[in-house]
Chain A
Amino acid sequence: MVDLLAVWTAVFFTLALYSILYKDTAWYRIAESVYLGVAVGYGVSLDLLYVRNQWATGGWATPGVMLGGFIIALVLGVLWYFRFVKQYFYLYRWPLSIIVGTGIGLALRAVIFVQFTDMIKAQAKLNLWIANDMMTTFNNILIFIMVPCVLLYFWFTGAKIRETAPMKVVDKIARYTMMAGFGSAFGYTILTRFSMFIGRAQFLLGITPNPPENMTAFIVLGLLILASMVGYDLFYKKKS
């Protein structure tokens, strides 16, 4: 019985969201409201479980620096909720600034290597002449030219230099490179979005490992929802 309810619930909410493709209906608004509620409430469980586990087995209960730190974390953790009290809103900024500062520090220390010097090294290591592989040679030369052009395209200092003939060539190469790159992004976006739809379609059709009962629910609920939307439209058309 619970399995049947589970299957029909899941199929109903899937189809209710898809009803937006016909028009914005009450089915869609119901599904959207449920999604918002469940998504927001979901994270509470795992976040608090982490804190509980850290207290139980993480050593924070040890008197001294650990216990003191845990108590300070609890006090600062309460300050998050002054966000909702206008008079004491400034207290909310304290834990926020600690989190932001730590996050910036962690990102800053390695970004110079991972996203800057390693990229420059890889660019410098490009082999511009491979005797028995003309295709790779050609590709490497193209990359060698394209990357600096795209970087220079976003260099906005020196308005006079940007108007010169060499910079116009650089701008053209950069634009064409980026357009090809965006085309590639479009292609992969189509793959992702349709893959996600295909996953949902496999669920609706009850393709293994999804329960085969899904298909019955899909047909019945799909027809009911469609009939309700079309019927509603016809009723209001007749009325007006």
Chain B
Amino acid sequence: MDTSEEEELSSKMAFLEKFMDMDRRWVYLLSWIFVLAPLLYPLGLPIPINQEAIKWYDTIDKIPNGSVVIFAPMYGTSGMPELFPMTVATMRHLWSKDIKVIVVTFWTEGPLVFRTLLTQVDPTSYGKVYGKDWINLGYVPGSETAMSSFGRDIPGTVSSDFIEGKPTTSFPIMANIKTATDIDLIISIETGTPGATEWLRQWQAPFGVPMIVGCIGVSVPGMAPFLQSGQISALLPGLTSSAEYELLLKKPGLAVAGVDAVSMSHLMVVALVILGNIAYFATRGSKGGKK
């Protein structure tokens, strides 16, 4: 190799090393651009509907009329960006059917998250009457102990409802609801503990109540064994699946609005990792050659 070629190679290597060591704030800036741009100027990419969303939709759609469902928003404000769209979509779906919904949560911020939902979705627009078609039992402290106690004695564990503060047994919906055996399905939207494992231990193992779970992406890998064994009947994993579910319901919302940004941010991550590895191997090769 002559001197000019060596110099050119040397400058390319220097550039690649500088690229690998660039200030991380440039990566942060790229992240802002790749997320804000598609939100401001939607790309309108098609959203393929996958099996997870179809299974979730079908499971809820096939709930027989007159069934009693526990809807548990088991997350706080930290999980809202990813889970709130699926919470809203699921409640719309439940309220559009002739089933009774009992809302309860074992996370401290759960009731106020649901209160935020009520500012966006009006159950009376579905003809649903509070206390007759649905009820909000609020937060029960105690984590897994609370879930176990709730399964054994529902009106005893939660003696007052969250919205009106009246005795739980005074509402028509709770007339024949005493224990977990009176519940037909659990729908748990969650970010961690307490969550699916606790529901399985305290409700499914002793009482055989089926359940479906919507969760953040980080929790999804851990749900795989329960999904495969049939302990969880359906799983809605993260924002992209929430968008597919919104499309199946024909009510696009925040999830659909955010999918283009999901695509672009993921493209950015893939590109950065691939470029980082190309630079790594190129500089490693040149260092090896110089030896």
- A residues contacting B by CB (< 8 A) are 21-22, 42-43, 46-47, 50, 53-54, 56-59, 99, 102-103, 106-107, 110-111, 113-115, 118-119, 121-122, 181, 184-185, 188-192, 194-202, 205, 207-209
Chain B residue numbers with a CB within 8 Å of A207 are: 39, 254, 257
Seed contacts A22-B25, A50-B141, A99-B145; 8 additional CB < 8 Å A-B pairs = A21-B25, A46-B138, A181-B221, A190-B217, A192-B216, A195-B238, A198-B239, A202-B81
Contact with A along B223-251 (1 / 0, CB 8 A): 00100111100000111100000000000
The residue of chain A having its C-beta at the shortest distance from the C-beta of B27 within the complex is A21
What are 28 A-B residue pairs whose CB atoms fall within 8 Å in the complex?
A21-B28, A43-B108, A46-B139, A46-B141, A47-B141, A59-B156, A59-B159, A107-B144, A113-B205, A115-B197, A119-B225, A122-B229, A181-B221, A185-B218, A185-B221, A188-B238, A191-B266, A194-B261, A194-B266, A195-B262, A196-B82, A197-B265, A198-B239, A199-B82, A202-B254, A205-B36, A207-B257, A209-B254
Q: Judging by beta carbons under 8 Å apart, are A199 and B80 in contact? A: yes
Q: Which residue of A lies closest to B265 (CB)?
A: A194
Q: Which residue of B lies closest to A200 (CB)?
A: B81
| SS of A interface (majority) | helix
Q: Which residues of A contact B205 (CB under 8 A)?
A: 110, 113-114
Taking a contact as CB atoms under 8 Å apart, the answer to whether A202 and B39 are in contact is yes
Q: Are B139 and A50 in contact (CB under 8 A)?
A: yes
The answer to whether B160 has its CB under 8 Å from any CB of chain A is yes
Instruction: Determine if B238 and A106 form an interchain contact, defined as CB atoms under 8 angstroms apart.
Output: no
Query: Assuming A181-B221, A188-B217, A201-B36, is B257 touching A194 (CB within 8 A)?
Result: no
B200 touches A114 (CB 8 A): yes
Q: Cβ of B82: which chain A residues have Cβ within 8 Å of it?
A: 192, 195-196, 199
Given contacts A184-B221, A189-B218, contact A42 B265 (CB under 8 A): no
In the bound complex, how far is the Cα of B18 from the Cα of A193, in angstroms? 27
Asked whether, in the complex, the Cβ of A195 is within 8 Å of the Cβ of B156, the reply is no
Interface residue B204 (Cβ < 8 Å from any Cβ of A): yes
Residues of B within 8 A of A99 (CB): 145
In whole angstroms, what is the CA distance A54 to B156 when docked? Answer: 8
Q: List the B side residues contacting A202 at CB < 8 Å.
A: 39, 81, 254, 257-258
Shortest beta-carbon distance from B117 to chain A in Å: 11
Q: Does B206 contact A (CB under 8 A)?
A: yes
Known: A107-B201, A190-B266. A209 touches B39 (CB 8 A): no
Q: Is B269 located at the chain interface by the 8 A CB criterion?
A: yes
Which residue of A102, A122, A205 is within 8 Å of B39 (Cβ)? A205
Chain A residue numbers with a CB within 8 Å of B254 are: 199, 202, 207, 209
> Any chain A CB within 8 A of the CB of B182?
no
Q: Are B201 and A111 in contact (CB under 8 A)?
A: yes
On chain B, the residues within 8 Å of A102 by CB distance are: 145
* Residues of chain A contacted by B28 (CB below 8 angstroms): 21
Do B84 and A199 have beta carbons less than 8 Å apart? yes
B111 close to chain A: CB less than 8 A:
yes
Chain B residues near A46 (CB-CB < 8 A): 108, 111, 138-139, 141
How far is B238's CA from A192's CA once the two chains are assembled, in angstroms?
7
> Are B231 and A198 in contact (CB-based, < 8 A)?
no
Q: Which of B14-62 contact A (CB under 8 A)?
A: 25, 28, 31, 35-36, 39-40
B188 nearest CB across to chain A (Å): 14
Minimal Cβ-Cβ distance residue in B for A111: B201
In the assembly, what is the distance between CA of A201 and CA of B218, in Å?
20
- CB neighbours (8 Å) of B40 from chain A are 205
| A185 and B156 alpha carbons, distance in the complex (Å) | 40
Q: How far is the CA of A122 from the CA of B230 in the complex (A)?
A: 8
B79 neighbours in A (Cβ, 8 Å) = 196
How distant is the Cα of A120 from the Cα of B199 in the complex, in angstroms?
20
B239 and A42 form a contact (CB under 8 A): no
- A57 / chain B contacts, CB cutoff of 8 Å: 159-160, 167-168
* Closest chain A residue to B84, Cβ basis: A199
B114 to chain A, nearest CB (A): 12
Task: Look across to chain B and name the residue whose beta carbon is closest to the beta carbon of A99.
Answer: B145
**Does B220 belong to the interface (CB within 8 Å)?**
yes
Chain A proximity mask over B136-176: 1 for CB below 8 Å, otherwise 0: 00111101110010000000100110000101100000000
Quick one: which of A54, A106, A121, A197 contacts B148, CB cutoff 8 A?
A106
A209 vs B39: C-alpha distance when bound (angstroms): 14
Report the nearest A residue to B140, measured CB to CB.
A50
B221 touching A198, Cβ below 8 Å: no
Please tell me if B184 contacts chain A, counting CB pairs below 8 Å. no
Q: How far is the CA of A209 from the CA of B239 in the complex (A)?
A: 17
CB neighbours (8 Å) of B257 from chain A are: 202, 207-208
By a CB distance below 8 angstroms, the chain B residues around A119 are 225, 229
Whether A188 contacts B220 by the Cβ 8 Å rule is yes
Task: Give chain B nearest CB distance to A54 CB in angstroms.
Answer: 6
Which of A118, A195, A200 gathers the greatest number of chain B CB atoms within 10 Å?
A195
